[in-house]
Chain A
Amino acid sequence: MQESAEAPHVFNYLTQPEVRFLDAAAARLIPADDLGPGGKEAGVSAYIDNQLNSVWGSHGRNYRSGPWPEGTPYQGFQSRLTPREIYRAAIRETNVHCLKQYQKAFEFLGPREQDDVLKGLESGTIELSSVSSKLFFGLLIRNTMEGFFADPIYGGNRDKVGWKLIGFPGVPPSNYNDLIDEHNVPYRVEPVSILDIRQGKVQLDAQGLPKHVRLKDAEQE
């Protein structure tokens, strides 16, 4: 699952139309703006492709036996379909809805129309034929956030854009204890990922923990 931050992702499970759908959705869920790159630039689609190929994508560690009656919302995930099957079916069926409604696939809609479709999935007002639109949207928003914030070893959060946005430093150094009494002083560093360490891009101390590089004042905020 490990991959270089620079090399383009080679999609394995997702088809090209599916990738275009997810790129368009990620660009609306977390837009690129003056604060920095968004979900598309972070590689959310690559992250989702990796996840759908993972143990989780086929619910390899989840309970999968029937019967499968409909549950209450409090009983959690009860679909017969695995996440990889849900994405496959729901992307196609959402595009069927878009073609009917707008005569265009989701990726070709304007931002406002795309937002309307996403809201329709979120609220369940758009009905998909084989899967609950709310269930699909729940996976999509969750995986988008994960693809934006998880360690870049999983293919998303490229160049640690999610961490840079909020100021999360990633893998800790060994000296936070020295900073306990520095109250109300923002700790701003170039974030360090597991991927950076695996690729030998950061200096490590004797414990194998990274030495953080502080950002200069000009780079803050």
Chain B
Amino acid sequence: MATKLKPVDAVIVGTGVVGSIMAKELADAGLKVVALERGRMIDPQHDFAVPSTYDELKFDRFSDIFQDLSRETLTFRNSPGERALPMREMGSFKPGEAVGGTALHWSTHARRFLPWDFEARSRTVERYGKGMIPENCTSQDWGITYEELEPYYDQFEHLYGVGGKAGNLDGVIQEGGNPFEGPRSREYPNPPSPMSYAGTMFATACAELGYKPHVNPIAAQTQAYTNPYKLMLGQCIRGGFCTSHACSQGAKANPSTTVIPALLKQENCEIRPLSNVIRVNLDSDRKRATGVTYLDASGREFEQPADIVVLGAYTFNNVRLMLLSGIGAPYDPVANRGVVGRNYSYQSHGRVTMFFEEKAFNPFMGGGARGTAIDEFNGDNFDHSGLDFFGGAYVNVASAGALPIRSTTVPAGTPKWGSEWKRAAAHYYQRNFSIRVGGGCQSYRQNYLDLDPTYRDANGLPLLRMTFDWGENERKSIDWVTGKAEEIAKAMNPSRMNTSGQHGHYDIVPYQSTHNIGGAAMGADPATSAVNKYLQSWDVSNVFVIGGSAFPQNAAYPPTQTIGTLACWAADNIRGTYLKRPGPMA
């Protein structure tokens, strides 16, 4: 039997980007808050001390800041006709499991989505007609605009100390920034990072071709910074070991550096680690949540009553908890009805690797997503007339630090092992870099999340089942933009070039990105979205479901900044509106 605890005002599931901001903002509003985290407590100074973070093998494979798949994983298949099998080993993506969440190991590439991204469907139909949208494509407008989110992007950028150069200040295009970005109300809080040698070569080639190269905005601090919660972040030392890694310098903005230390001082907020929420409890008419049930480290069951329930976990867990709790109608892809699990999506990628004979890039020097990009081929920044896809990709060179196990790259056609491989590895490690093509991913009827009929977690509950494959639209858009990237590459005169696109089936084995989104989409219509524009469940109005889960489809840019921004937006609306008059806000 569950032990019933004393009620609180708000219970928050997860302590990542979303959970930490929600806990802080609601605690600041005077609410009594409990944040439940399935993973362990993290003390960055102890857990991420020098030199133990400089360990590629550990953070590639077995770090305990990643989800422990022995207790809980998901099952996967490419299409509804196949049998889904469990993801037994971590591969394509790396969800986190610790106080601080997945963002403990993000690459800090902090971009605002384009205004177009929030209205992708209606703007595409308006400009090119309905025929531009593939038949089974369920991509839709977000029910919110860039203009509405702008103040919250600004809030998040200051919270996370993003360094960059504005490209559009209040509608005035700025030299050196991204001219395609939406208008911003003020500059970034920190200056842009200086360009690497590779980034400079890329920028020169792009400028010669008439594009507008700009420095990637990043949340690896470009100078020492104190954020609005009065927390100090150190300057990034460009030591590499960024992607998948925790940062020993406190320079990577994430919940453990930007929010949690402030939260721990707050008497009206408590973080309970090793507390695995298994269900949101609903009252008898299922219109109102009464709190959540969770298991503590010993497996004891507790019921935490609360007036507000915030699901702020990773995409998969938000969706799974809704399904396990019966919040919202599960998606049925055959009838194309129901909303929970609908519009699951990911991100598409292409890459052009250039090999040179007489260069030295020192690729181990890097920090976060430091690099250079162009945005000419993203979203609807170019005319798609005559093309057979919509959306696009941004093209960039980033140096997170080339680590030897993963990033010893050799020209295509080189054997995978033996003397010839060794010679190429030795020669080219210092003499290659990649142009990466980061593409959006539309949503489709046949790509969705539901509960697996066979496989269960360590608590005996059904695993989440992912059905996903690449759409033709993504294969085509990545092919087309990667062709543009090849032109840029050729302008740099490499001796050899490897090109890869988004061909074949989605493969859950190689690491791609931890950018899983959707399944609890936000929107204006309860028939096609699980939450309204305030991230509030249409069905159970005191449940807010916030995170990547709310994206109806994915933009080309990395999602973290928009996830954090949605938390800032939701928190402000709960504080300003919901608390005064609890109930449906839309």
**A: which residues have CB within 8 A of B?**
28-31, 33, 35, 38, 54-56, 59-65, 67, 69, 71-78, 115, 118, 122, 141, 144-146, 149-151, 153-154, 162-163, 165-177, 179-181, 183-187, 194, 197-198, 207-210
Q: B365 contacts A179, CB within 8 Å?
A: yes
A172 engages B241 (CB within 8 Å): yes
- If A75-B77, A167-B430, A209-B50 touch, does A177 touch B237 (CB 8 Å cutoff)? yes
**Which residues of B have CB within 8 Å of A144?**
417
Q: A162 vs B455: C-alpha distance in the bound complex, in angstroms?
A: 41
List chain A residues, Cβ under 8 A from B237. Answer: 172, 174-177, 209
Selected from A162, A163, A186, A209, the residue in CB contact (under 8 A) with B360 is: A186
Residue of A167, A180, A207 near B196 (CB, 8 A) is A180
> What's the minimum C-beta distance from B80 to chain A, rounded to whole angstroms?
14
- Name the distance in Å between A114's Cβ and chain B's nearest Cβ: 11
Q: Mark B197-215, 1 if CB is under 8 A from A, else 0.
A: 1001000000000000000
Q: Report the minimum CB–CB distance from A40 to chain B (whole Å).
A: 13
- List B residues 32-63 near A (Cβ within 8 Å): 49-52, 54-57, 61-62
Can you show 17 pairs from A to B with CB atoms below 8 A apart? A33-B422, A62-B88, A63-B73, A64-B70, A69-B83, A145-B405, A163-B404, A166-B425, A166-B429, A169-B364, A172-B239, A172-B364, A172-B365, A176-B237, A186-B362, A194-B54, A208-B51
Looking at the assembled complex, report how far the CB atom of B531 sits from the nearest CB atom of chain A, in whole angstroms: 30
Complex contacts, B64 vs chain A, CB 8 Å: 61
A191–B416 Cα distance when bound, in Å, is 25
B430 to A186, Cβ gap below 8 A? yes
Which of the residues B50, B83, B89 comes within 8 Å of A59, measured between beta carbons? B89
**Residue positions of B touching A, CB distance < 8 A:** 49-52, 54-57, 61-62, 64, 66, 68-70, 73, 76-78, 82-83, 85-91, 194, 196-197, 200, 235, 237-241, 359-362, 364-365, 403-405, 408, 416-419, 421-423, 425-426, 429-430, 454-456, 505-509
Chain A contact surface mostly: loop
List B contacts of A194 (CB < 8 A): 51-52, 54-55
Q: Is B426 touching A63 in the complex (CB atoms < 8 A)?
A: no
> How close is B90's CB to chain A, nearest CB, in angstroms?
8
Further contacts, 10 of them, CB under 8 A, given A28-B418, A73-B507, A172-B240? A33-B419, A55-B62, A145-B405, A154-B57, A168-B404, A171-B51, A176-B238, A176-B365, A177-B237, A209-B50
Contact of B86 among A63, A141, A174, A179 (CB under 8 A): A63
Q: Are B509 and A62 in contact (CB under 8 A)?
A: no
Which residues of B sit under 8 angstroms from A63, Cβ to Cβ?
69-70, 73, 86-88, 455
Residue from the list A29, A163, A168, A197 in contact with B51, Cβ < 8 A: A197
Q: Tell me if A185 and B360 are in contact (CB < 8 A).
A: yes
Q: Which residues of A contact B51 (CB under 8 A)?
A: 171, 194, 197-198, 208-210
CB neighbours (8 Å) of B419 from chain A are 31, 33
Complex Cα distance, B70 from A98, in Å, reads 36
Question: Which DSSP category, helix, strand, loop or mixed, fits chain B's interface?
Answer: loop
Q: Which residue of chain A has its CB nearest to the CB of B455? A: A65
Q: How far is the CA of A146 from the CA of B238 in the complex (A)?
A: 24
Tell whether, in the assembled complex, residue A184 and residue B360 are in contact, meaning their CB atoms are under 8 Å apart: yes
Residue in B69, B78, B235, B239 whose beta carbon sits within 8 Å of that of A74 in the complex: B78
Partner of B506, one of A74, A162, A183, A185: A74
Residues of B within 8 A of A181 (CB): 194
A36 to B88, CA, bound (A): 37
What residues of B have a CB within 8 angstroms of the CB of A35 in the complex? 422-423, 426
Assess the A31–B197 pair: CB atoms within 8 A: no
Q: Which residue of B lies closest to A122 (CB)?
A: B416
Contacts of A146 in B (CB 8 A): 57, 405
- Find chain B residues with CB under 8 A from A67 CB: 454
Q: Is B506 touching A61 in the complex (CB atoms < 8 A)?
A: no
B59, chain A: closest CB distance, angstroms: 11
A121 smallest CB distance to B (angstroms): 12
Across the A-B interface, give the 9 residue pairs with the lowest CB-CB distance, nearest first: A172-B239, A166-B429, A186-B360, A149-B404, A183-B197, A208-B50, A150-B57, A176-B238, A63-B73
| Chain B hits for A59, CB < 8 A | 70, 88-89
Q: Return chain B residues, CB-CB under 8 Å to A208.
A: 49-51
A166-B408 contact, Cβ under 8 Å, with A59-B89, A151-B57, A180-B238: yes
Question: Closest B-chain residue to A36, C-beta based?
Answer: B426
In the complex, are the beta carbons of A151 and B56 less than 8 A apart?
Answer: yes
Q: In the complex, what residues of A have CB within 8 A of residue B76's CB? A: 74-76
Q: Is the CB of B430 within 8 A of A31?
A: no
Instruction: Tell which of A153, A162, A171 touches B404, judged by Cβ atoms closer than 8 Å.
Output: A162
Q: Which of chain A's residues have a CB closer than 8 A to the CB of B240?
A: 172
**CB closest residue in chain A, given B417:** A29
Nearest A residue (CB) for B196 = A180
Q: Given A55-B62, A172-B364, A209-B50, A165–B418 Cβ distance below 8 Å? A: no
* Contact, CB under 8 Å: A165 / B508: no
Residues of chain B within 8 A (CB-CB) of A122 are 416
Which of A29, A162, A187 has a CB less than 8 Å from the CB of B418? A29
Chain B residues whose C-beta falls within 8 Å of the C-beta of A154 in the assembled complex: 57
The interface residues of chain B lying within 8 Å CB-to-CB of A60 are 70
Q: CA A10 – CA B72 in complex, angstroms?
A: 35
Among A151, A163, A168, chain B packs the most CB atoms within 10 A around the CB of A168
Q: Is the pair A76, B362 in contact by a Cβ cutoff of 8 Å?
A: no
B73 contacts across to A, CB distance below 8 A:
63
Neighbour of A165 across the interface among B49, B78, B426, B509, CB < 8 A: B426
Residues of A within 8 A of B416 (CB): 122, 141
**Contact pick for B78, options A72, A166, A210, CB 8 Å:** A72
Question: Contact partner of B422 among A163, A165, A175, A187, CB < 8 A?
Answer: A165
